Amino acid sequence: MSLRSAQSIMQAMDKDKYELVPIGVSKAGEWFRLDAGALEGPAQILALQGERVALLPHPEDQSLVPLDNGAGGPHKPLDVVFPVLHGPLGEDGTVQGLLELADIAYVGSGVLGSAVGMDKAAMKALFLQRRLNITPYRVFLRKHWQKDAQAVQAECESAFAYPWFVKPANLGSSVGISKVHDASELGPAMDEAARYDRKLVVEAAVAHVREIEVSVMGNDEPLASVVGEILPSHEFYDYESKYLDDATRLILPADLPESVANRIREIAVEAFLALDCAGLARVDFLIDGETLEIFLSEVNTMPGFTTVSMYPKLWEASGIPYPELIDKLIELAMERHAENRSNRRSLTE
């Protein structure tokens, strides 16, 4: 998904306004300054045809440094980075921290917002602190589940009724998530989630559920888009429904009473601010289709960004086309970077 998002963004950017520097990251963590062919499609990005480079964690010249033998000096300084990275070691504050050390502006949330946005357990704790309505849940460590599965099951059964969802705390794209209808399905679900993280989240399912999403954009005074609804092709919006199955439908705007839609938009902004997000985020909700009770689900600080992804489609339905949206996000990145630079970092400055 990161590859398709990156390609879409690069193709939509005004080449007369921006000088693009495509950077690919391999599964081994190596950075490559990609050839111009990376603009042609995900396959070219994946090929990683370019020179190996690194970004040094100090604010000297904000340049990519070639790593290959015989390479020349540093490239021209980078003005702003659009880190189109999903999941751990990209969306969780790690790359954002490197960019902070290098003193380079970047699109999206900072270290704190990115880290909390990736950790569902920490995110839910902040939501509760802000008195935002969420589904009942419990958090367990992998080693506790492996040591005493019966105790974990008993604690959940005493807290809420089946069905449940089991998730790894730190992952995205619905990877490792299972729906548990009864006790017989809990073990496989917990073991699957435990493949991906040491923290496991178990949460109650919402009856008659409707899956709702809102796009948020801004820094300290963010705005919310129109409200959209996902009609997944499977029992819930899993990885296959999101990326492999074209039967999933998007309803824009969602068929909701105006008062409910407005309240969802208000909560989306509250959630964005609660996590100290910046730039952009997609906020996901669950609604009881009969009572219309609103449950805040999670915040995605670097959502999918292809032309058909929910985040840009919600803004398009709100009157902001895809190329303009990219421009606005870059402007917000520069604005946040300039504000951070005005901070004093020691008494002697």
**Domain annotation covers residue 124:** no
Task: List the CATH number of the domain containing 240.
Answer: 3.30.470.20
**pLDDT score, position 296:** 98
pLDDT at position 193, please? 95
* Residue 232 identity (one-letter amino acid): P
Q: Residue 71: pLDDT band by 50, 70, 90 thresholds?
A: low
Bridge-based pairing state of the strands 137-141 and 199-204 = antiparallel
Whether residue 79 sits in one domain with residue 62 = yes
pLDDT at 241 over 50: no
In this predicted structure, the answer to whether residue 349 has a pLDDT above a threshold of 60 is: no
Both 309 and 223 in one domain: the answer is yes
* 35 or 297, which is more confident: 297
Q: What is the DSSP string of 126-172?
A: HHHHTT-----EEEEEHHHHHH-HHHHHHHHHHH-PSPEEEEESB--
Q: Which of 173, 204, 235 is the last residue of a domain?
A: 204
Q: Is the pLDDT of residue 243 over 50?
A: no
Verify that 272 and 328 share a domain, yes or no.
yes
Whether residues 260 and 334 share a domain: the answer is yes
Q: How many domains does the chain have?
A: 3
In a domain, 117, yes or no: no
Query: What is the domain range of residue 156?
Result: 136-204
Could you tell me if 277 and 159 lie in one domain? Answer: no
Alpha carbon 342 to its chain centroid, in Å, reads 28
Residue 125 vs residue 27, higher pLDDT: 125
Q: Are residues 213 and 319 in the same domain?
A: yes
Instruction: Give the residue-averaged pLDDT of 239-261.
Output: 77
* Mean pLDDT value of segment 105-118: 96
Q: What is the pLDDT of residue 324?
A: 97
Alpha-carbon span 32 to 332, nearest angstrom: 26
Cα–Cα dist 71/73, whole Å: 7
Average pLDDT of the segment spanning 124-145: 97
- 199 plus 236 within the same structural domain: no
